[in-house]
Structure formats: structure tokens, C-alpha cells
Amino acid sequence: MERAAVVSGRRSPSVPECNISTSTLAFDQHFTTTAKGILLLAEIVFGMLVWILVGGTEYFHLSALCWVMFVAILCWVLTVCLFLIYLTGTHNRIPQVPWTTLSLCLNCSAAAVYLVTAVVDAHSVNQAVRGRHNYNCWAASAFFAFLTTLCYAGSSYLSYWAWKTTQEQ
């Protein structure tokens, strides 16, 4: 016999009860106030500024700036993913992944690659006419690329100490 529920005066068939467990991701409100969270946010903002400033120009005429765009977007996407993993507490739900080692590798690699990218970006500024749109955008992107490099270096330092602490335990 089918059970029916009364909804606002009408009879409709009820949904069968299933034992479905739902999982919600926790939002760590305090993560963005930690040094790690602040550095990740800075990497996201400065990295986004790098690829927006370069992307708004005719960068495709210089292969060096194509490299800058590739590195900036790749590192930005990976950093956003890592930020969301830490912000939602996913790293606590998947203990099989060595998050401290992964974070250390990502940050050290990004710092090294971004340093090369910042130098290439700064060198490419000479290819533009001073005072023009491309020149101003490329100069600003080089500045933000160096800031992003510093943020990744700071994250590398914090990741190293977190990794060292977990290795000693």
C-alpha cells in the first residue's frame, strides 16, 4: 500500500526513506587569519594580477610572455585548489594524501618557477615602448610577479617547518 503525504491540501506520494548519508564540507573560519591562509590569499590575488595584466595586452607576440601566462595561470589554479582544500577542511577528511609534503612540493616548485617567470617578465618590459599600454601593464605584472614569488617563498618556509614537524613525529 502506498503512503501519501498531505501537502497544502493535496495528496502526493511520499518519497521512500533511504539511508543516504550526506556529507557537508566544513568551513574553517579561522584559516584565513593564519599565516598560511594569508599567504595563500596573497598568492591568489597577486598571481591573478600577473595574468590579468599580461593577458590584457598583446603578449602573444613574445614567446617569453606566453611562458609568463602559462606559469601564472597554472600556479594560480593550483593555489586556488589548495586554498579551497584547506579552507573546507578536505585535508582532514583525506588523510591518505601527505598534505604537508604536497604543499611543500607545490610551494617550492612555484617559488622557483615564479622567480624565473618574474625575471623573464621584467626582461620583457624592454620590448615595449615606454609609456604605452603594454609597457605599463608588463611593468606592473613584473612587480606583482616578484611579490608572488616572495609569497610562495614564505609559503615554502612555512610548509618546510610543517613538513619537518610531521617527519619528526
- Sorted by where each begins, the domain ranges of the chain are 32-93
Three-state DSSP state, 105: helix
Looking at residue 168, its pLDDT comes to 82
- For residues 130, 151, 52, 117, the Cα torsion angle rounded to the nearest 10 degrees is 60
Give me the helices (H) in the chain, please.
35-55, 63-88, 90-93, 99-124, 133-168
Question: pLDDT digit of tens for each residue in the chain (169 aa)?
Answer: 444 444 455 555 565 554 444 456 678 889 999 999 999 999 999 999 999 999 999 888 889 999 999 999 999 999 999 999 999 989 889 989 999 999 999 999 999 999 999 999 999 998 888 878 888 999 999 999 999 999 999 999 999 999 999 888 7
- Spatial contact of 91 and 85, defined as CB atoms under 8 Å apart: yes
**Identity (one letter) of the amino acid at 108?**
C
Q: Give the predicted TM-score (pTM) of the model.
A: 0.81
Classify residue 132 by its DSSP letter. S
